[in-house]
Structure 1
Amino acid sequence: MKTIHKLVLKAYLGPMILTFFIVMFVLMMNIVWRYIDELVGKGLSAGIIIELMTYFMANMLPLGLPLAVLLAAIMTLGNLGENYELLAMKSAGLSLIQISKPLIILVSIISVGSFFIGNNLVPYANKKVYSILYDIRQQKQSLEFQDGLFFNGIENMSIRVGRQEPQTHLLHDVLIYDNRAANGNMNTIAADSGYIRLSDDKKYLLVTLFHGETYEQTRNSQWFTKSALRHHIFDRQDQVIPMSGFDMGRSDANQFSNSQTKNINQLQGDIDSLELTVNSATTRSYEPLLKEQIFVRDNQVLPLPDSLRIDKSRYRDILITDSLEVLPLREKERIWDQARSLAKNSRNMFSVDESNAKEALNQLYRSKVEWHKKISLPVSIMIFFLIGAPLGAIIRKGGLGLPVVVSIIFFVIYYIISITGEKLAKEGNWDAVYGMWLSTFILTPIAVYLTYKATNDSTLLDTDWYAGRIKALRDKLTPKFAKLKKAIKPKRNGKKHDTQ
């Protein structure tokens, strides 16, 4: 490797790593704010949260890599251009393609690696994310008492605390309604103070109460005539109540399966099977409906069987006199009722198969979208580099100022086009090829045009060049405007003398 290539590669790796972590941090903040309500109040351990964030980060890699590559390319070539290093390389006889050769090789390796990330790592991460979120949603909230409010997070129990000391967690003025008894008995406990907490394994509720009273209302099948009330006074009462739902169980991630949790081979198998399912469901629905219900006696649409064919020339008079207009009113009503019942039967027969066909069709659209998404990711990374490198050479500005603005503009355009195309493809309005590759079709000509301009040392985005052109145009037009003002001024003075 040439020394100049080592210089370019070293100049690119630093901004690439920096921008990658910045982009991933921004994307992760979006994820945190989206799921903050589900994570707070469950008493989750730090290990569970770190594990969930790790899988979320793996899921965000396909979205963060293109933006990081684009921003790093603009910053690197912009820094080289701003420090006149790019000019020195071109003066030595190197073209922009030759200068960017090590970067093209590096980005090609990143693109190939991104395919394996999207094909193997992302489906596995999606399974884990769905599994952990499901377990978190099934877990009950941790014990968090608020002064003067009832806590109803325990089944068949309500607990009210008058005041809680923040340091010792001692509870004052405790009131407990316990309806857990299977025979219907209800216990009411009122205590001056106490402690209520979960055990370390979150399987038991440990209750320690001081100076209180217990009221037990005994009920049986004749509670409306025979009901007993027991009263106990205690100085200290300890209870160990079995609990469920406060400890976080772990589900099998393999049971969470959809188009986002499969690799490209599994998606291709699903696409083949779903196409067969859709075709068979459509054939099973429409052919009996057409042949047996709608066009059963219309030989212009479907050929009639031999048993239903008639000689129209022989029975012309009968066909004419048998028209609906000449039939009696009761006969017309009978015919309309028969037609209505046939229509209802046709609709009921068709609705079941139609719902199955629609579900299979929606899964088919989503599987095709995910299949093309895994292929389009490596291509988008390369296109973003081919946009960023020429832009950096043209802009000749490094740092996180103008390059960030330009990168965000291009990424927003790419993201909007991709989301729109994906939505239309999932709804079936567009084919998956057009929906998922639309952004590539639009950005590729832009990348080719910018590469051509940067290779030919274009001043497309050079602000100094535009400022010089505007100054030259202003200097050229200023004398003409001065002459025009002098020509208009005497005419105005002449008009004033005429009016006088």
Structure 2
Amino acid sequence: MLRIKKLDIFIVKSFFLLFIGTFFICLFIFMMQFLWRYVDELVGKGLEMSVMAQFFFYSALTLVPLSLPLAVLLASLITFGNFGERYELLAMKAAGISLLKIMRPLAIFVCGLVGVSFYFQNVVGPIAQAKLGTLILSMKQKSPEVDIPEGVFYSEIPDYNLKIAKKDRKTGMLYDVLIYNLRDGFENAHIIYADSGRMEMTADKQHLWLHLYSGDLFENLKAQNVKAQNVPYRRESFREKHSIIEFNSDFNMVDSDIMGKQSSAKDMKQLEASIDSMKLVGDSIGRQYYTEVSQGNFRPSYTLSKEDTIKIEEADIRTYNVDSLYEIASLAQKQKVITAAAGKAENISNDISFKTFQMSDNDTRIRRHRTEWHKKFTISLSCLLFFFIGAPLGGIIRKGGLGMPVIVSVMVFIIYYIIDNTGYKMARDGKWVVWMGMWTSSAILAPLGFFLTYKSNKDSVVLNADAYINWFKKIVGIRSMRHLFKKEVVINDPDYERLPGDLDRLTTECKAYMAKNRLTKAPNYFKLWMVGEKDDEVVAINEQLESLIEEMSNTKSVTLVNTLNNYPIIPVSAHIRPFHKYWMNLLAGVIFPIGLFFYFRIWAFRVRLSKDMERIIKNNEQIQFIIQNINK
């Protein structure tokens, strides 16, 4: 029987509350970005609240699958970051619970979210996408509301240009009205100027009712003779004039079947059926075009008898001087031949271009349907992949709240979006195989999630800045300095009687090591990769040095403590071959550029080790002098 532990309930509850909040935040952000794309289609058209409500509702449904992965990433980062910051993750691991067991209930929950995302992609998404596309197309076709600005020409009314000098918004009166009626063309424009006027919409919202007062009308009359120098016109003065202008400002929904043919408005079964149909149509059209090209335009348009055909097939064009035949032709025959050849070549080119366009267009539609088919899986699976990235990162970073987790999640999502969008465009344009382009982002995220989960489960310092700084210092050769201070409480004082003799022995060993190894000279390149793995003499010298420093650090003399800080920190393995494995050192030596880099690096460290030995000898002398003063 399945037993649900209290710890699992606690983990799921902590994650679920954060997931709900982050989901609506992500959905709101994506909706604002989506609204910004279509803001020009919404502003100034007087759309009803019901239409706007449908727009936001359908856009929210289409953006749910895209919001889920980012919400999972952000919620998992914050959840495990809070666990780490409050030491709850440490307590769980101290109780013998591994990170994988901690993640197990959330992994099951996220698998359910994967199913929800796939349901939205395959069932809800296509319906919402068709409705949203139809709604957006209807918004684009709707005429804007009449809101004529002051001092500029207004051209939103079809076939009319209006300009007013001043407008009274309370009474609706327009002053100094200038109207260009371009229904009969620009050259035959009807120009109306009125001292004042008023414009209102009819009840059916299909016409504008224009009332003009104290004005003139100018109209060009078409001349009977096109070449006439003077074109007559007609002028009409009026005290009051009323006219109706056709202007449909009502919102009319277009046919929903228009968007039903788009790949984004189909489920998987419909996509598979459409792909099979388009492949069948493409194959049949391709065979037909091949037959037409092989038997049509490239063959002679005239008919030949069987004997003439045999003669032409047996004839060799190289035996005929075509240029001479062309030269003896008359000018009219040459022009006729050139015109016929150019016309036939142009017809063939246009015919092939049309056939190529039809075939490429069919291939493009097939690729769009295939990318949409794969997209339903990749976006759904990204929820699980983002969880296995966010949860380990939260455990490693150990920072909760909306600070660091938001920054990290946004960076990860941007990288994912760039890779996914690049793969999608490559697959859509036919530059990559469809499945390769659509699954590239998942193929990159999966190893990253596995790596982070493994490192977090092993309590690795993969994101610890100090570890990378120390590694860089080790590669470059930067060493830390000693920082010894006088101790407030000293239990055992140094043995000042014995220390001078130990310092003499250390000095002797340093001198013997320097004379034996000749550290300042360049090492033998070939013997360098064959020597032993450890330098036991340097290790012994370093252990003896650290032991003496540890004992002398218990002194009450500030001068002695300050002198101890002059001792160098010796890296005991920097001056020998770089790798622990024998074959890796041989490989580094064989690969000349890499071996040359390590060779000069080791040589520099040998020279530095020689200087360290000299510093130790000199510092030993100073400490011996200080001890003599202490003994006095």
TM-score category, normalised to shorter length: 0.7 to 0.9
Answer yes or no: is the 8 Å Cα contact 2:180–2:189 preserved in 1: no
Give the Cα–Cα distance (whole angstroms) in 1 for the partners of residues 399 and 231 of structure 2: 90
- 8 Å CA contact 2:218, 2:233 repeated in 1: no
Q: Is the 8 A contact 1:324 1:332 kept in 2?
A: no
Task: Decide which moves more: 373-382 or 26-35.
Answer: 26-35
Look up the match of 1:126: 129
Partner of 1:440: 442
Partner of 2:52: 49
Matched position secondary structure for 2:157? coil
Counting only pairs closer than 5 Å after superposition, residues 14-413 of structure 1 correspond to structure 2 as: 14-176=17-179, 188=192, 190-192=194-196, 194-199=197-202, 201-208=204-211, 212-213=214-215, 215=217, 230-234=236-240, 239=242, 241=244, 243-256=246-259, 257-286=261-290, 289=293, 322=316, 324=318, 327=321, 329-330=323-324, 347=349, 350-413=352-415
Partner Cα separation in structure 2 for residue 163 and residue 366 of structure 1: 52
Distance 1:389 1:146 in 2: 56
Q: Matched residues in 2 for 1:146 and 1:39: separation?
A: 19
- 1:366 counterpart letter in structure 2: R
Residue type of the alignment partner of 1:360: N
Cα distance per residue 1:226-255 (max 9 Å; x no partner): 976554434xx6x57363321121112222
Q: For the residues of structure 2 that align with 1:171 and 1:101, how far apart are their CA atoms?
A: 71
Helix, strand or coil: the match of 1:7? helix
What amino acid is the match of 1:384? F
TM-score, length of structure 1 as denominator length = 0.79
Contact 2:19 2:72 in 1 (8 A): yes
- Aligned CA-pair RMSD: 4.2
Q: Secondary structure in 2 aligned to 1:172?
A: strand
Aligned equivalents of 1:478, 1:128: Cα separation in 2? 75
Aligned CA distance change for structure 1 residues 35 and 484 (closer, same or farther; 3 Å): farther
What TM-score do the two structures reach when normalised by structure 2? 0.64
Whether contact under 8 Å (2:176, 2:193) holds in the other structure is no
Distance 1:471 1:245, change over 3 A: same
Q: Per the alignment, do residues 370 and 324 of structure 1 end up closer, same or farther by CA in structure 2, a change over 3 Å counting?
A: same
CA distance in 1, matches of 2:292, 2:216: 72
Asked if structure 2 preserves the Cα contact closer than 8 Å seen for 1:12 and 1:72, the reply is: yes
Q: Which runs of 5+ in 2 are unaligned?
A: 301-307, 330-336, 483-566, 571-607, 616-632
Corresponding residue number in structure 1 for 2:480:
474
Query: Which structure 1 residue ranges, 5 or more long, are not aligned?
Result: 297-306, 489-500
Q: Distance in 2 between matches of 1:294 and 1:180?
A: 49
Contact preservation (8 Å) 1:111, 1:382? yes
- Preserved CA contact (<8 Å) 1:71 1:407: yes
- Relative contact order, higher structure (CA 8 A, sep 6+): 1
**Residue in structure 1 matched with residue 531 of structure 2 by the alignment:** none
Alpha-carbon shift at residue 287 of structure 1 (Å): 5.6
Cα distance between partner residues in 2 of 1:138 and 1:441: 42
CA distance in 1, matches of 2:175, 2:348: 69
CA distance in 2, matches of 1:258, 1:283: 26
Shift of 1:63: 2.0
Distance change in 2, residues 1:410/1:225 (3 Å): closer
**Aligned residues between the structures:** 467
Distance 1:205 1:393, change over 3 A: same
| Residue matched to 1:299 | none
Moved more, 384-393 or 125-134: 125-134
Q: Could you tell me how far apart the structure 2 residues matched to 1:213 and 1:65 are?
A: 63
**Contact preservation (8 Å) 1:285, 1:350:** no
Structure 1 distance, partners of 2:276, 2:284, is 13
Aligned-pair CA distance for 1:217:
6.4
Aligned position for 2:601: none
Residue by residue over 1:411-456, the C-alpha shift from the partner in whole angstroms, topping out at 9 and shown as x without a partner, is: 1221111111111111112111101011111111111111112222
d(CA) in 2 for partners of 1:483, 1:105: 61
Q: Structure 1 residues 464, 291: CA separation in 2 closer, same or farther (over 3 Å shift)?
A: same
SS at structure 2 position matched to 1:428: coil
- Displacement of 1:3 in angstroms is 1.5
Task: State the shift of 1:279 in Å.
Answer: 2.4
Q: Secondary structure at the match of 2:439?
A: helix
Matches of 2:324 and 2:347, distance apart in 1: 23
Tell me if the contact between 1:215 and 1:231 (Cα under 8 Å) persists in the aligned partners. Answer: yes
Q: Residue 107 of structure 1: CA displacement?
A: 0.8
Cα distance change, pair 3–328 in 1 and its aligned pair in 2 (3 A): closer
Specify whether residues 278 and 176 from structure 1 end up closer, same or farther in structure 2 by C-alpha distance, changes over 3 A only: closer
SS of the residue corresponding to residue 42 of structure 1 reads coil
Alignment partners' CA distance in 2, 1:207 and 1:309: 80
Output the amino acid matched with 1:405: I
Quick one: structure 1 residues 294 and 442, their matched pair in 2 at CA, closer, same or farther if it must change by over 3 Å? farther
The answer to whether the 8 A contact 1:425-1:431 is kept is: yes
Matched residue of 2:463: which SS? coil
Deviation at residue 328 of structure 1 after TM alignment: 6.6
Deviation at 1:170, TM superposition (A): 3.3
User: Does the 8 A contact of 2:158 with 2:247 survive in 1?
Assistant: no
CA distance in 2, matches of 1:150, 1:339: 53
- The 1-side partners of 2:194 and 2:114 are apart by 67
What's the CA shift for 1:203?
2.7
Q: Secondary structure at the match of 1:151?
A: coil
How many Å apart are 1:6 and its aligned residue? 1.6
Quick one: distance in 1 between partners of 2:231 and 2:403? Answer: 83
Q: Aligned partners of 1:349 and 1:9: how far apart in 2?
A: 64
Distance 1:228 1:82, change over 3 A: closer
The equivalent residue for 1:493 is none
Kept in 1: contact 2:480–2:569 (CA 8 A): no
Residue identity matched to 1:247:
D
Question: Shift of residue 267 of structure 1?
Answer: 0.5
- Identity level (%): 33
